[in-house]
Structure 1
């Protein structure tokens, strides 16, 4: 086979063999490996012709996926040219290597290669852990088979001989991956190879088994390996490249090729496999560490009577060999939840046998005493580790009604880091900081645990649909009817506070009335909602919460508190710079009757700067200000647009420190030019490259009318894929239609921009229905450009 045909043959073969049979993956990968083996043997024979005198004493061997005979359709090749220096000289070895490597490179195949003797393989394996693990897969391809067999035997023998001292290195390697990579189970664009729970972790698990210090559940790991390798094969078949990151653009095609109805369904299967791998790695490492511990774990007794020390705790909980288990003879109703509480509060793992038994237990609604112990577990700092152990055995889904529907469910919002189920656990962990600030910490923790139960497939409004699910789950967890209703209220409204604070006009009385309605005009519920709001946002990811967003949420919360207490809200301290800048701009515009620009004091804990722009209001002013920021290449993070006494005062938060921004005089000059030409259509054109085409349905814009949000204006929300000119295009559309912007609230969430616009006609009145229809359609066109 000509070498240049190899890449196309590999892709063609895997597509011809197909993915219809889920069990065909291993045989398909064997066929791929056989195809490449045959090609490499042909190259070896040709190399022998090019290097006269080459006999025994040299061999071509494979490591990596080819060494394991699990090659993907575009996987890189990892090859080792083994030589015996006594029989093959350095010059002859170099000629042989060149005769092999160059045809492989010419074929377009990515190659990782080395030339080593048996002794050099031993030495490099002793010095580098990753190489040692890789060489465990050494497999003969061509040439001197005995040389490969001897090298593999020596490498394995040394690995087992030195395994005790290398366990710590393996633990460090796993910890390093934890720091450098995310969890495959929770990633929106997972790396099938490098993320935690991926193919590299499977290699480490099997390397530990080769050390004979610990073993693993082969059936579980083999099944997970098949799932991950099938996804890798499909990804490489779709892209024609050797990458292992499953990007959003390829997820639908990969899901279809692997026989899944949707990308979300496929992600759930991948997450399940990755969690199983992560758990097996954890178990295998712990077993290896226990095997090398002097005398094992803490022990008692002597001689043949020596056994691990055992500590008995209340409710039948036992700590033995560094693990939490239970006394099987105990009939204490709190036994299992007490064991989980101890694991969540101490960080000690739950024993495998205990988890297996919990998975088989009949689950009944919790009694109040069991509920209280479970709440204590939710307050434990090691809750996430305990949850992963319970989840991988299917225990948590049996304990919490509705959990199985959101387990491993990916989040398509760019601000989210975790799957739905793990996000709820992270929200509980964040909520722990607020336990001393609310009157019912138990309700806060359980609401955090249940708040996204509505994020099921095809859900339209997960908050509204999740409320009855959370109420039913709370009843099952032992809460009475009144508390369950409060939990349902918090779940239904868990997005309300941040949505109103950042997306509505806080000066509009309707905004406060909507908040008070959401919390049933109850102060305790308001405090719980405030805590839940921050915990939920921080758990989602760094782009979902910021100082300015916290200030707006706190300001609206203060308004709600004072309304419920009958007191008056004082201006928030951190909002003072914004207000003082607005007042200064107002005064300067009144004096000069011209545009003004002021930079308030910078935020000291975020790389975000604030600009306050003001000008006499009129048609096109908002659009002119938006164009200025685009022309100056300022990335808008959020904005609040308002009109006060005939003056447009717009506050913008942009990415970067003040040192990165142009001088205020530059911004003012640019604004003067835009305002002077705001009536000239040709001068308003932004010379920007076109936006990339829509690739997924998630990129499609959504324009929504918000009825009842204001009595004085028509409120429209534009939710669209962000781009530099989006806000300017939206503002220009409003100007062309002769409408006024009474206020606007702009924010960027990941790759989406969410703009809430308070629109009126030229007389300051809410829009009539025909005008609403026209502007909504026009805004859809503008957001789609």
Structure 2
């Protein structure tokens, strides 16, 4: 590959022609003319041309060494990119004159002067093997150059000895050297940015560039770890070819692919246009960057294990062959594995497949694994992603509910979504899930305002939208709209109009209902309308507000459009959003909200409204009223696989390490519970479910009086076992009775279990939102809205806070959308009246405090 590291030179050595007398020398073939002829040959391109240029240079330098009268014990050694046997048209010649004893001081000049005369750029040094090793020990960049040392002329034993010694030194000091090598990469990335997204990228120094390939080869030389090699060599060759064409087009030794040079470079390479050229560059850079991420995670594990800080590991060297981590080959007990989701566990700081996972029979597994990894702040192991890509079947159409919800959960993880998304994309899983993604993948945006490619801008918008999910009643629609709002940029015409067509089709395939499809279509079609109207129209003109209210019909839709507008702008770049723009958009949104407020909709569809009770519900209500105790029904006939049902409210209790890894699939059931109304009911029931490790997917609560003997609360919940089998109905009923009687202290039991379980590493999430809805939301109750990140015991904590506040929960609607809980509680005082504004504020504060 035509890449170079900084040459191993001492301060006294280096490029340039020193002043003084020019040594006498005999005439040699004209290297400059020969080099020019070689570069003009149409039959030599790419790697073949670089190899031929290196061979031509080898022959010329060998002739110079011989003509200089070099004695025995002297060798010319190529290092860096030249050492790898490849030269780009304007590459420096990195050469080391190696000797084993006293040297004629004029010998080096008899070699260097002809090189300078030829016009070639020369970086040179004169050293003994011991001196070369000493410089390498003190200078990491010099050591990297010597790792590619190659004999050119003179004493081959001298070169071989140096090469062996340098490699031995490198391997012996790898634990100390590799952190420094990684830091060099980070510094380059900070200075030069990410090659995958820059309009004028540095092909060599930016992250994902040719320097990173050198670093990966250096890691492999330690024998501690190796990069995933699929596609890596092709990516490096592509960047090297582009670099060659850039050198030839500009006639300069430049590494920056400037805008004014891209058309010429594309033409030299036979590429359709500059955009196609950039897409190829971006694709190559992403391959290299992903390989770097995977490799450095492996290095971290190896070094941690060597220092005694790491966990026991199943594979240390070359862990990317596909037979190890995450591939189901690790023996039980060999490493610590902590369950994350069905079929997914944590191992060595990565999400991997559980031993009993069956990717071929579980098409939702890639999304479930991705969501679990992101929500826990982890990445997915390389072997796991490879196996998922190889074995998983495509999702059915429409998607199962769980697949849609797991995608929302992945996007809702915010920044933690990015490395997981990159891993899925590296193995083609994203385009398999979203075929329309291929048209925007790596697509450049030739607009100074945009800092990302189209596809990365979409993901970045979803990341920013994840911080705004508390502002909307439908976080799933916000996140999906953010991910797809510019999907039409891969098609001709107005991208908003094209995007609306695409997103409607995608939403139907994802299994959204008709109303949600309409909302998503509106959001994509009009994702620019709010900011364009706010910045270009008179805010005091009634027609300005009307332009927005014609687009959105309800306050929830306006909330979604407002949040999407801000997420899109902030993800675009600093020039796209400012305090002035934000104030204009906020002002227009407020005016539009006031116009729509006359028909304030309920915060969650169905909240506070119930159909007539079923015969089974009436039977349970009558039984509870007559006996004064709980009446419970677990409808076994309604069981559905958790893999094709709605996603679960995160376990109302933490999973124990190792629990359930080999257990059966969790089953979703309908739990109907009738209990005579009493204080503390909601928190108690939620706590009992948590003790039994039941997750709550959705919940409804209503009040009945079936026999005129007093109110009975009817709870209709969809629950699932977090891991393993559902508890026996009799045992669950007994624990509910004990808890309601006071003989089972649910809160204490939960606290004891949580204290004994290891804390899971989580991701930063937006703070919970607890708000009292406007009075128009209900004429007979106070509506308390709770939007929070789903977590173990969340519903239990909310219920306890409401119980402690001394209010009655007349009805409730509890749902989990992705990783977000969106709940509405209809509250009254003991007399059945809505709460006063002051009392409602106190209750909201109590719930807010309970959620931390």
TM-score (normalizing by structure 1)? 0.66
For the residues of structure 2 that align with 1:180 and 1:111, how far apart are their CA atoms?
26
Of the candidates 267, 292, 298, which is equivalent to residue 287 of structure 1? 298
**Which residue matches 2:506?**
473
1:5 and 1:261, CA in 2 relative to 1: closer, same or farther beyond 3 A? farther
Of the candidates 60, 63, 67, which is equivalent to residue 39 of structure 1? 60
1:296 and 1:499, CA in 2 relative to 1: closer, same or farther beyond 3 A? same
Of the candidates 86, 89, 94, which is equivalent to residue 73 of structure 1? 89
* Cα shift at 1:446: 0.8
For the residues of structure 1 that align with 2:32 and 2:282, how far apart are their CA atoms?
30
Q: Which has the higher contact order (CA 8 A, sep 6+)?
A: 2
Matches within 5 A, 1:286-685: 286-292=297-303, 293-294=305-306, 297-299=310-312, 307-327=334-354, 328-330=356-358, 334-360=364-390, 361-364=392-395, 365=397, 366-380=399-413, 381-456=415-490, 459-517=492-550, 519-565=551-597
1:368 and 1:136, CA in 2 relative to 1: closer, same or farther beyond 3 A? same
Q: Deviations over 1:685-734 (max 9, x none)?
A: xxxxxxxxxxxxxxxxxxxxxxxxxxxxxxxxxxxxxxxxxxxxxxxxxx
| Aligned-pair Cα RMSD in Å | 2.6
**Which residue matches 1:652?**
none
**Which residue matches 2:73?**
57
1:527 and 1:313, CA in 2 relative to 1: closer, same or farther beyond 3 A? closer
Of the candidates 148, 153, 172, which is equivalent to residue 161 of structure 1? 172
* Cα shift at 1:452: 1.0
- Indicate conservation of the 8 Å contact 1:401/1:473, yes or no: no
* Structure 2 residue ranges without an equivalent (≥5): 1-25, 315-330, 600-852
- Indicate conservation of the 8 Å contact 1:60/1:143, yes or no: yes
**Secondary structure in 1 matching 2:178:** helix
**Which residue matches 1:14?**
39
Higher helix share: 1
For the residues of structure 1 that align with 2:423 and 2:35, how far apart are their CA atoms?
39
- Indicate conservation of the 8 Å contact 1:17/1:28, yes or no: no
1:492 and 1:169, CA in 2 relative to 1: closer, same or farther beyond 3 A? same
* Cα shift at 1:34: 1.4
* Cα shift at 1:100: 3.2
**Secondary structure in 2 matching 1:238:** helix
- Indicate conservation of the 8 Å contact 1:315/1:334, yes or no: no
**Which residue matches 2:741?**
none
* Cα shift at 1:333: 6.4
**Secondary structure in 2 matching 1:140:** strand
- Indicate conservation of the 8 Å contact 2:313/2:348, yes or no: no
1:8 and 1:242, CA in 2 relative to 1: closer, same or farther beyond 3 A? farther
**Secondary structure in 2 matching 1:308:** coil
- Indicate conservation of the 8 Å contact 1:201/1:277, yes or no: yes
- Indicate conservation of the 8 Å contact 1:160/1:211, yes or no: yes
**Secondary structure in 1 matching 2:490:** coil
**Which residue matches 1:243?**
254
For the residues of structure 2 that align with 1:158 and 1:171, how far apart are their CA atoms?
18
* Cα shift at 1:451: 0.8
* Cα shift at 1:453: 0.6
For the residues of structure 2 that align with 1:466 and 1:6, how far apart are their CA atoms?
57
How many residue pairs get aligned? The number is 549
* Structure 1 residue ranges without an equivalent (≥5): 49-53, 568-785
**Secondary structure in 2 matching 1:17:** coil
**Which residue matches 1:760?**
none
Q: Deviations over 1:58-104 (max 9, x none)?
A: 322221221111211111222222233x231xxx34x3333333433
For the residues of structure 1 that align with 2:58 and 2:309, how far apart are their CA atoms?
45
* Cα shift at 1:112: 2.4
**Secondary structure in 2 matching 1:548:** helix
1:9 and 1:239, CA in 2 relative to 1: closer, same or farther beyond 3 A? farther
Q: Deviations over 1:568-591 (max 9, x none)?
A: xxxxxxxxxxxxxxxxxxxxxxxx
For the residues of structure 1 that align with 2:532 and 2:539, how far apart are their CA atoms?
11
Q: Deviations over 1:652-690 (max 9, x none)?
A: xxxxxxxxxxxxxxxxxxxxxxxxxxxxxxxxxxxxxxx
Greater Cα radius of gyration, structure 1 or 2? 2
- Indicate conservation of the 8 Å contact 2:203/2:209, yes or no: yes
